[in-house]
Structure 1
Amino acid sequence: MTGRAGPVRAAVVGGAGYIGGELVRLLLGHPRVELATVTSRRLAGRRVSTTHPNLRGLTELTFTAPEDLGRHDVLLLATEHGLAMGAMRGLLDLADTVVDLSADFRLRDPAVFAAYYGGPHAAPDLLAEFVTGLPELHRKRLRDADRISVPGCMATAAILALHPLADAGLLGAGEVTVDGRTGSSGSGSAPSAANVHAERSGALRVFAPTAHRHQAEITQAVGVPARMTATGVEAVRGVQVLCRVPLADGVDEAATRAVYRRYYRDEPFVRVVAARRGTYRLPEPKILAGSNFCDVGFAVDPHGGWALLVAALDNLVKGGAGNAVQCLNVRFGWPERLGLEFPGLHPA
């Protein structure tokens, strides 16, 4: 669609968590968005900057109770998994465009959702109406989409790593395996015994040895069967995935590099990182903190037959809030980098 001239009036629903805070931060700096409302049932009436102290002096907004939300042009939902699907019919009456960052509308098949989330979907008839919020794969559909579901952080990284080879027909027969590593912010801001500093510090905790929920998203998006594990590492932000894949006969390092360059040469937020020298030869999440980049890379076994694909991103930005803002930019015909120019820090 053509670019919208006037500001878009937006609300963040569920703004007290880490993803909600990143949405607020990005939207406050977005030149085409007026952030009008941030909701939280628990913190209604309190300053947003009290919960998100990096925003001190940048906003006078206070949290609004969800029942007082009112109508906006855009709603961005950063609610806990399971809440959006029950409330979605009412929320669709409050905005022309809804962007959901929870897991509730990521899967298209109600049976697959039930298998991975332990129960039936509350609004299965709405699943097919949501477009996956990943511009690199669905940019054309997002230009007219009013219901957008942002994929999970490790799913985003794995999909962007796997998609070029899968789409080009360069993967061999069989499953791919995805080994995901994530920092503590991926568990959200709600306290739990497993995430206190004394338990998390120094630990490499395999919290999903089999059947991680993002596994279903990866299989749905890429079209190849995937098996996924996930490990919590000693970092606050960041996701790195290692994807071990079989290669079709004759696929070597040169063919792999050529495919990645072709698929991502015009993408504003995906960089191919597969260097033969330097400190960061393959994607590293540490240097991506705060940025909307996803770096993807690869290492092809010199004996042939398989490759290791690597992707890294900030789980709260390209893995969440930044990806949502990128989808808004596509939806409203704005430059895709708008409000997302921060390149990350080095050293960090």
Structure 2
Amino acid sequence: MFKIGILGATGYAGQQLVWLLYNHKEVEIVFLSSHSYSGYSFSDVYPQYDQFLQNLCIDIHNVEKKLVDIDLLFIALPHGKSFEITKKALDLGVKVIDLGADFRLKSSASYEKWYNLQHECIDLLPDSVYGLPEIHRENIKKAKLIANPGCYPTASILALTPILKHQLIHPNSIIIDAKSGVSGAGRKASIPTLFAECNESIKAYGVAGHRHTPEIEQETSKIYGQNITLSFTPHLIPMNRGILATCYGNLKEKCSQESLYKIYKDFYENEYFIRVRKNLPETKWVKGTNLCDISVCVDERTGRVIILSAIDNLIKGAAGQAVQNMNILFGLKETEGLEMLAMTP
């Protein structure tokens, strides 16, 4: 049994981690930590765990004392909050999977520009591994520090990777239009995510300046082999969870729908969590799962390709991907604890 701790356990992503790991056969949850609910039982915060998980949430100071008791620390905190504890964990030989943004960008200057915050662990950036398993599996196996991707980047990068690998589109023609459920904003009290504010409405936000933009550009540039500048616009929609990303690009030459479908099927042939579908993706068919559904369409009239992908933002876009990374890191069956399908209705 591998021993793990979760820092930021009472946020939505943290709770999703607890939910997944509680049913995982190969791990033991040693501690749960929460800034807002220190001293409370986890089941007081999330009553579905009553009589099943009675752990008291501990504060950050007790986390530091307990690092010697674990093999892996999951960090589910806002950006800027992971630096100090990550250093301490790594110094003690504890592996770290950070669900936040602090180690995703390889350039500290880019981080400081987009997050308006000084990076305090520049020395760790060269060794951090971007934890998108379908792209970086071999590096994840050897990692000590894994930067779990953001939810929008996960959906967008997985959608674009095959066509970028084959260099079939003009790299600077990419436009990503993505929509997310309200849980993507986290569990904090916020006027824009109140029911009366977001229900019966849809809105764009972070237009021409969302912080996931450099993350998507960084990874797609690596895949394509040259710098990519793209347009990314996220939207908030009135549902609990799910992301639908619609990605557009100008084809370099004529391609048939079937040829592109085959490229995608072949590329993801051995990926359990990727389903390349002829039907258009819908968030309800991936809700509550670690799956990513992708479809590719050719608009012959305009010479554009349109790729759509759907994920659950809290699972494949956060906690499920973190568990997938953990499984790879520890040499476990990659699908362990993640083999669930969507529930309907």
Q: Same fold (TM over 0.5)?
A: yes
Q: Is residue 2:315 matched to residue 1:325? A: no
Equivalent positions of 1:172-321 (< 5 A) are 172-223=170-221, 224-274=228-278, 281-303=279-301, 305-321=303-319
Q: Distance in 1 between matches of 2:246 and 2:93?
A: 38
Q: TM-score, normalised by structure 2?
A: 0.94
User: In the alignment, residue 8 of structure 1 is paired with which amino acid?
Assistant: F
CA, structure 1 residues 121+220, in 2 after alignment: closer, same or farther (shift >3 Å)? same
Deviates more, 1:52-61 or 1:231-240: 52-61
Which residue of structure 2 lines up, in the alignment, with residue 52 of structure 1?
Answer: 46
Question: How far apart are 1:88 and its partner, in Å?
Answer: 2.5
1:11 Cα offset (Å): 0.3
What residue in structure 1 maps to residue 157 of structure 2? Answer: 159
**1:225 to partner: Cα distance:** 2.1
Kept in 2: contact 1:75–1:95 (CA 8 A): no
- Normalised by the length of structure 1, the TM-score is 0.93
1:17 equivalenced with 2:6 (yes/no):
no
Aligned amino acid, residue 77 of structure 1:
I
Structure 2 counterpart of 1:76, from 64, 74, 77: 74
Q: Which amino acid aligns with 1:47?
A: S
Q: Do structure 1's residue 146 and structure 2's residue 144 form an aligned pair?
A: yes
Alignment partners' CA distance in 2, 1:83 and 1:109: 18
Aligned to 1:28: 22
**Consecutive aligned runs of 4 or more in structure 1 exceeding 4 Å deviation:** none
Contact 1:252 1:304 in 2 (8 A): no
Q: Which runs of 5+ in 2 are unaligned?
A: 222-227
**Alpha-carbon shift at residue 112 of structure 1 (Å):** 1.3
- Does structure 2 conserve the Cα–Cα contact (< 8 Å) formed by 1:173 and 1:248? no
The one-letter code matched in structure 1 to 2:253 is D
CA distance in 2, matches of 1:207, 1:159: 20
Spell out, residue by residue over 1:13-37, the C-alpha distance to the aligned partner (whole angstroms, 9 max, x if none): 1111000000111111100000110
**What CA distance in whole angstroms lies between the structure 1 residues aligned with 2:310 and 2:36?**
33
Deviations 1:28-83 (A, max 9, x none): 11000001100012212211112123323321111011111212100000011110
Question: What SS class does the counterpart of residue 139 from structure 2 fall into?
Answer: helix
Q: Which residue of 2 aligns with 1:278?
A: none
Q: Distance in 1 between matches of 2:134 and 2:119?
A: 27
Q: Which residue of 2 aligns with 1:126?
A: 124
Shift, 1:87, TM fit: 3.5
The answer to whether the 8 A contact 1:74-1:95 is kept is no
In 1: Cα distance, 2:140 partner to 2:41 partner: 33
Q: Are 2:90 and 2:144, in contact at CA under 8 Å, matched by a contact in 1?
A: no
The one-letter code matched in structure 2 to 1:141 is: N
Match of 2:224 in 1: none
Query: Which amino acid is 1:296 matched to?
Result: I
Q: Given residue 291 of structure 1, which amino acid in structure 2 is its aligned partner?
A: T
Instruction: Pick which of 257-266 and 91-100 moved more.
Output: 91-100
**How far apart are residue 122 of structure 1 and its match?**
1.7
Name the residue aligned to 1:42: 36
Letter in 1 for 2:21: L
Give the whole-Å Cα distance in 1 for the aligned partners of 2:172 and 2:190. 38
Deviation at 1:173, TM superposition (A): 4.6
Query: Is contact 1:268-1:336 (8 Å) kept?
Result: no
CA distance in 1, matches of 2:260, 2:302: 12
Name the residue aligned to 2:100.
Answer: 102
Provide the aligned length of Structure 1 versus Structure 2. Answer: 335
